[in-house]
Amino acid sequence: MANSRVLIISDQHYPYSHPDIFAFLKALAKKYKPDRVINIGDEIDGHSLSFHPHDPDLASPSDELKTAINRMKPLFKLFPKMDLVESNHGSLVYRKAKFHGIPLWTVKSYRDILGAPKGWAWHTHLVVTLSNGAKCYFCHTKGSDIQKVSQAMGMSVVSGHMHERFEIRYWANSEGLYFGMHVGCLIDDDSLAFSYNRLNLKRPLIGCGIIIDGLPKLLPMVLNKHGRWNGYVP
């Protein structure tokens, strides 16, 4: 059955992604052999293009994007087919173009900017029929209360964006069982790009999600005291 093992890759924020992101994703791919891979957005950070002030100690827009692409490249081979949902960081090139009055048709596509494989497709959001026949909605974010979002959609929901949320909330009605899943993120919390968050008590939760035969599972990347992946494959 199609969509029996749907791997969800959480916010990566290349080039400010966790240094062990590829090793972790490779291990997950080997263990779970996903038949569908969905990238929940913020695949690149775009700090230098942001509407917020640019940290003078971080790279220029061009250098940042080139580094992001170089770090992302191994994923092109590991996951030649991937669906990506649009996100606030991932879409910065288009948001900035629009802000400055540049017609979007003059700007390259997501795939062309990144040099991504033909199998990578970007969507505003996605509804996928899982292998158990249930529908699941994938979006970057529609709010922090994932159960409410799921109830409003009338189907299960997976979303990203909230880096410190890594949770599954089940609910049911007379028609069936549903879930909302927040999949955390895959960022490098030590990067200067996230210094805005340094004083917050809640720290980002590093990991991914998977849906196996219609049921969700969180896949935490367990870190050692130096912030590196300890090698455990959840």
Write out the residues near Fe ion by the rule CB under 5 A: 11, 42
Q: Which is nearer to Fe ion, 3 or 191 (CB)?
A: 191
Peptide bond before 103: cis, by omega within 30 degrees of 0?
no
Q: Which is nearer to Fe ion, 155 or 162 (CB)?
A: 162
Q: Which has the closest alpha carbon to 38: 228, 191, 183?
A: 183
Cα–Cα distances (Å) from 189 to 79, 140, 154, 171, 234, in that order, read: 25, 20, 34, 32, 21
Degrees, nearest 5: CA angle 69-72-73? 85
C-beta of 101: minimal distance to Fe ion in Å? 27
C-beta of 74: minimal distance to Fe ion in Å? 20
Task: Give the Cα separation of 203 and 195 in Å (integer).
Answer: 12
- The phi-psi region of residue 204 (left if phi > 0; otherwise alpha if psi is between -120 and 50; otherwise beta) is beta
Both structure tokens of 36: 């569908």
Q: Which is nearer to Fe ion, 138 or 178 (CB)?
A: 138
C-beta of 17: minimal distance to Fe ion in Å? 11
C-beta of 227: minimal distance to Fe ion in Å? 18
Q: Which is nearer to Fe ion, 10 or 131 (CB)?
A: 10
Phi, psi for 173 (deg, rounded to 5) = -135, -170
Helix axis angle, 21-32 to 61-78, nearest 10°: 20
C-beta of 127: minimal distance to Fe ion in Å? 22
3-class DSSP state for residue 49? helix
Q: Which is nearer to Fe ion, 90 or 214 (CB)?
A: 90
Q: Which is nearer to Fe ion, 162 or 168 (CB)?
A: 162
C-beta of 209: minimal distance to Fe ion in Å? 15
C-beta of 233: minimal distance to Fe ion in Å? 24
Q: Which is nearer to Fe ion, 94 or 170 (CB)?
A: 94
Q: Which has the closest alpha carbon to 210: 230, 229, 184?
A: 184
